[in-house]
Structure 1
Amino acid sequence: MKAIICGAGITGLSAANFLSANGWDVTLVERSAGPRPEGYMIDFFGSGWQAATHMGVIDRIREVGYDVNRIDYVDSNGRSTAHLGYESFTKVVGDRLRSILRPDLEQAIREVLPDSVELLYSTTITSIHDSSAAATASGGKVDVELSDGRRLTADLLIGADGIHSDVRSMVFGPEADYFKFLGFHVGAYSFRDNRVKDILANRYAITDTCGEAMFFYRLRDGSISALGVHRTDRRERPDDIQQEFRERYRSLGWLCPLALEHCPKSFYYDQVAQIRMPCWRRGRVVLLGDAATAVSLLAGQGASLGMAGAYVLADELAKHAQVPDALAAFEARWRPQVAEQQKAGVSAAKWFVPADRRALLMRRLSMRLIKVPGVSRLVSGAVVGKIGAAL
């Protein structure tokens, strides 16, 4: 059986690994010229941890990940206004939690990619003819044309090319039909500054602010990972993201002006949104990860869901003789899990970056309540969710 996967991020690489392990011949197509260095720190746990265990990369994730002591919310002078120890979460997930940079997680998966997987960088899919149109001519195969002029025929095409998926646009219609903007923009970059490095220590430091917030973490090489999230009614990306960042975050005080001195002209920047689709499959084409089910940065677990979804898809393809039957079973099994996490993402938007001082004070109160015996497990359990059920 032959599969073509569009997108060599966490989801696409995971799908390539799991399908190849089940005997599939896999071609992986990626627009970028090589592995992408941009990315922010994520908390990796939940169903993705189980999937990573099946893949055999857990030890590597533990090695390159970080043990964070606590989350500190700070005012414009750097004083802590609220904090949360990571033990609140480890009580629920045990040691199955690691903070890790997205590029490092991608690299861990890429390292175990079998040699049999054909990985094509600087390549896009320019046309798709799925089985519903090509069944008579090619026995239900899916035919694609690549930007390098090659034509490939496969039993399955997986669109794992992210929230702005080209496969989704070509097969299912315009992005606007499925794109739910949540009212935030986000940007992330890393920089070096000894003045900042010495202040952070082993913690997430977050500005305790309304409307916009910056997040900082010191990496083991001494550089600083910075992420900014701000509320906005403007859906489109600004023309000058560097100017936008500097104007939006300079007034937050503390380390922000220093960090903004290092803000580059080009860095990761995007809208915070979800993808809502009534169906993820058509013929022999299926969408996976953010292309089908983006939950948003606010919900977290996007990487975890991408890996776990890839495992579930491969598992259903192994169980069913016919690809369309496997795709239907995959969606029936995985959709309830994703819907739960998307719902959590919309709810999280209310406190992730508070809209006003009242919401900010409520967040501070919640952070204090989580330290109360019994409440900690309840709140942390709500954050962790039940997303592992499908595995």
Structure 2
Amino acid sequence: MRAVICGAGIAGLALAGRLHDILGWEVVVLEKAARPRTEGYMIDFFGPGYDAAEAMGVLPWLEELSHPVSEAVFLDEHGQCTARLDYRRFTRALNGRLLSIMRPDLELALRERLSLAVGLRFGVGPARIDPVGHGVRVTLTDGSVIDADLLVGADGLHSSVRAMVFGEERRFVRYLGYHTAAFTFDDPYARDELGERFCLTDTTERQMGLYALRDGRVAAFAVHRSADPRRPADARAALYHEYGSLGWLVPRALAACPPSPRIYYDQVAQIGLPSWSRGRVVLVGDACQAVSLVAGQGASLAIAGAYVLADRLAGAPRIEDALRSYERVWRPVVTDRQRAARKTVRWFVPETERHLRVRRAALRFAGLPGVGRLAGTSLTGKRRPSLGRLASPA
């Protein structure tokens, strides 16, 4: 069997390794970007993706690349703490199964684990997709053609595969009213000031978070409300416009902000479509299940979804049966996280001073003895069957 996977991000790389290592498939991964992504933000990695990474043998690499975070601290414009969350409470609540890792480092670990037999091609993507017999013919942007038994769209929120096979993007995107950005910069003073803390501005309408990386750099993560879902032509100018009035270390971060091509910038949105597969074409990761950064667990769900899809393919008599089975068991997990995000989105970046005060009170309450375990457990959403049961074809 041959699979073509479009997208060398978290979901695509996880699926490629699983299909080759466990099923023995021939796998080609296509990535339209010219090189691996270096822009991105820190994620809290836990839940089903953590279980999948452990089962795939990649967890030691993730632990090596992870960053120690002692606490999340909210600061006013003068750098004074207004609220804090002790990360150790959440780690204990999740039985130690929590890592803080940069998204590009997570991709790096998955990419380095790929067999050399997996074809990984950068700078090329699908230009045309046609059903052929019991398979798919993919015409690439460089003019070459690949015939495959299965085509997987793992190409993210703005999936080309989804647009070509299922319809234009606007039909499936639920914009949540935010833009987000991330970049890294060098500033020894800021790094010393941050230590092992994840520090965020305690502000309305917009929020910037800063944290130190192992190599001495500082990473910035920003999110702000916007009625317009369109991404700006100049990301750097947009960041100056949105965050220029904030205090504390934000002016230093903006002064060191790199040019727009080196900034990760996107809308905050979810994806919802009636079916995740059509014939021998299937979607995985954010292409079909984007929950948004508001919900968290996007990377975790990407790896776990790929794991479930691969194991369903291993146990089903027909590829089409496996694709339907994968969606049947995995969609409820995704739907739960999407619903949770829509319920809590107004507190992610408070709209008013009153909302800000309510959030501060909630954060202080979360620090009380016994509440940390409850809050940490609630991060995973409803209790679902274990990853092993979801992946099992039985």
Contact 2:153 2:282 in 1 (8 A): yes
Query: What value does the CA root-mean-square deviation take over the aligned residues?
Result: 1.1
Q: CA offset at residue 152 of structure 1?
A: 1.2
Residue 121 in structure 1 maps to residue 117 in structure 2: no
Residue 181 in structure 1 maps to residue 175 in structure 2: yes
Aligned to 1:349: 345
Structure 2-normalised TM-score?
0.95
Aligned to 1:9: 9
* Aligned counterparts of 2:314 and 2:271: Cα–Cα separation in 1: 27
Aligned partner letter, 1:48: G
SS of the residue corresponding to residue 43 of structure 2 reads strand
Contact 1:178 1:277 in 2 (8 A): yes
Aligned partner letter, 2:226: T
Q: CA offset at residue 163 of structure 1?
A: 0.2
Aligned to 1:253: 247
Residue 270 in structure 1 maps to residue 266 in structure 2: yes
Q: CA offset at residue 347 of structure 1?
A: 2.3
Aligned partner letter, 2:195: A
SS of the residue corresponding to residue 365 of structure 1 reads helix
Deviation per residue, 1:314-334 (Å, 9 max, x gap): 010011010000000000010
Aligned to 1:332: 328
Deviation per residue, 1:71-106 (Å, 9 max, x gap): 000000000000010122112212211100111111
Q: CA offset at residue 243 of structure 1?
A: 1.3
* Aligned counterparts of 1:288 and 1:217: Cα–Cα separation in 2: 30
Residue 360 in structure 1 maps to residue 361 in structure 2: no
Deviation per residue, 1:246-299 (Å, 9 max, x gap): 121121100011110011221110000000111110000000000001001111
Alignment of 1:59-138 (within 5 A): 59-130=60-131, 134=132, 138=133
* Aligned counterparts of 1:193 and 1:40: Cα–Cα separation in 2: 17
Aligned partner letter, 1:38: E
Alignment of 1:1-391 (within 5 A): 1-21=1-21, 22-130=23-131, 134=132, 138=133, 140-266=134-260, 267-386=263-382, 389-391=385-387
Contact 2:53 2:59 in 1 (8 A): yes
Structure 2 residues not aligned, in runs of 5+: 388-394
Contact 2:186 2:218 in 1 (8 A): yes
Contact 1:163 1:290 in 2 (8 A): yes
* Aligned counterparts of 1:101 and 1:206: Cα–Cα separation in 2: 17
* More deviation, 308-317/191-200: 191-200
* Aligned counterparts of 1:232 and 1:369: Cα–Cα separation in 2: 30
Aligned partner letter, 1:248: E
* Aligned counterparts of 1:291 and 1:145: Cα–Cα separation in 2: 20
Contact 1:333 1:390 in 2 (8 A): no
Structure 1-normalised TM-score?
0.96
Q: CA offset at residue 373 of structure 1?
A: 2.9
Taking every aligned residue pair, what percent have the same amino acid on both sides?
48
* Aligned counterparts of 1:387 and 1:49: Cα–Cα separation in 2: 15
SS of the residue corresponding to residue 389 of structure 1 reads coil
* More deviation, 194-203/281-290: 194-203
* Aligned counterparts of 1:371 and 1:147: Cα–Cα separation in 2: 53
SS of the residue corresponding to residue 124 of structure 2 reads coil
Q: CA offset at residue 195 of structure 1?
A: 2.1
Deviation per residue, 1:195-238 (Å, 9 max, x gap): 21121110100000000000000011111000110001011112
Contact 1:43 1:98 in 2 (8 A): yes
Contact 2:93 2:374 in 1 (8 A): no
Q: CA offset at residue 386 of structure 1?
A: 4.2
* Aligned counterparts of 1:31 and 1:388: Cα–Cα separation in 2: 35
Question: CA distance change for structure 1 residues 165 and 208 in 2, over 3 Å: closer, same or farther?
Answer: same
* Aligned counterparts of 2:43 and 2:323: Cα–Cα separation in 1: 29
SS of the residue corresponding to residue 385 of structure 1 reads coil
* More deviation, 348-357/3-12: 348-357
* Aligned counterparts of 1:258 and 1:281: Cα–Cα separation in 2: 47
Aligned residues: 384
* Aligned counterparts of 1:389 and 1:232: Cα–Cα separation in 2: 37
Contact 2:185 2:258 in 1 (8 A): no
* More deviation, 52-61/170-179: 52-61
Q: CA offset at residue 45 of structure 1?
A: 0.7
Contact 2:174 2:271 in 1 (8 A): yes
* Aligned counterparts of 2:382 and 2:6: Cα–Cα separation in 1: 29
